[in-house]
Copies of this chain bind each other. A is one copy, B any other.
Amino acid sequence: MGVVIPLGENKNKLASVKPLVDLTRPGMERVNQLILSKAGSDVQMIPEVANHLISSGGKRLRPMLTLASAALYGYEGDGDVKLATSVEFMHTATLLHDDVVDESDMRRGKSTARMIWGNQASVLVGDFLLGQAFRMMVEVGSLEALDVLSTAASVIAEGEVLQLSVAKNMETTEDDYLQVIRAKTAALFAAAAEVGPIIAGTDKAGRNALKSYGMNLGLAFQLVDDVLDYGGKAADLGKNVGDDFREGKITLPVILAYRRGTQEERQFWRDAIEGGQSDDEQLEKALGLINKYGSLGDTIARAVHYGTIARDALAPLPEGPWKKALLEVIDFCIERVN
């Protein structure tokens, strides 16, 4: 990639998710057990479909955020594990439904559930996991946490519908696109981080700090994901370079290259994204234009911008290993492109 990333800290070594993974290990073991147990059903197809996706090696960043944000405020019950599992189920349900909506064949290097069990099972098992997520939230018994997570569920779905409406429309602005990813990705990061302080009984300022951290981390995360689709270590993600392009997805690298392009270049993008002319030859040209206009570097610069906001959101909180781990995750999410 060759993009210089300005980072606030850790200039000499790459940031890592490892401190967060280490700190949350005991909690995540319980989350993983709860995932298996709550994805269980006498209806055999349910655990089959659920475990296919659950075991496919996602990072489980979202439930770790919930555990960490509760621990940051000294929470000691078992509600954090249940809410973290709920968050992961909400995410898994979204992925199952997304694959149907996007007609995707592959996710994380494996065939999607819909390719193996059909669209029907993907829709319905997604619904089941969402129901189980709500049941676990109800068990925890915090109406405030329920409010935050049920609102996130609505907002995520709303964002996905919005994405349908802007799909294949090259006049989509950066603002339009931000509205989509704020809803479809960042809202769940924000909710995952906010419910920690809520069950820990933290004041409004603490809740807001974590919510803002999660929201901006989510934006940075999604923007870097968009960059990875046009280069970087896409193979590690089980994605191929250019998947978004072939599916006609509009992401920030494309928006920037389009808006900065000549009239002729803009016609190319319209033919590719709106007209579906997106084979390997066109992908080569698209990569060339994205490079010509520095779209990847500037998308990363946007991610850094949101990362900085996430960092400042946590700044007033007392120092300690949890805060340090959460801060390092910001850099980790951004440095994934290297």
Contact = CB atoms under 8 A, between A and B. Distances in A.
Contact of A97 (B45, B127, B138): B127
A228 interface: no
Nearest to A41: B158
Interface in A24-54: 41, 43-46
Interface string A135-178: 10110010100110011111111101110110000000000000
B128 A161 contact: yes
A101 interface: yes
Given A131-B154, A150-B131, A45 B138 contact: no
Contact of A120 (B124, B141, B154, B164): B164
Contact of A135 (B131, B150, B160): B150
Taken together, the copies of this chain in the complex come to 2
A125 B165 CA distance: 12
Contact of A128 (B127, B131, B157): B157
Nearest to A144: B138
B128 A101 contact: no
A45 B165 contact: yes
Given A138-B147, A165-B44, A101 B123 contact: yes
Interface residues of A, number: 41
A73 interface: no
A61 interface: no
Contacts of A160: 124, 127
A120 B102 CA distance: 8
B161 A135 contact: no
Contact of A131 (B120, B125, B138, B156): B156
A130 to B, nearest CB: 7
A43 B97 contact: no
Interface of A: 41, 43-46, 97, 100-101, 119-121, 123-125, 127-128, 130-132, 134-135, 137-138, 141, 143, 146-147, 150-158, 160-162, 164-165
Given A100-B119, A127-B130, 14 more contacts: A43-B161, A46-B161, A97-B123, A101-B119, A101-B120, A127-B156, A127-B160, A128-B154, A131-B150, A131-B155, A134-B134, A134-B146, A134-B150, A141-B143
30 contacts: A43-B158, A44-B165, A46-B161, A97-B123, A100-B123, A101-B119, A101-B123, A101-B124, A119-B119, A120-B164, A123-B123, A124-B157, A124-B160, A124-B164, A125-B157, A127-B130, A127-B153, A127-B156, A127-B157, A128-B161, A130-B153, A131-B150, A131-B154, A131-B157, A132-B154, A134-B134, A134-B146, A135-B147, A138-B147, A146-B146
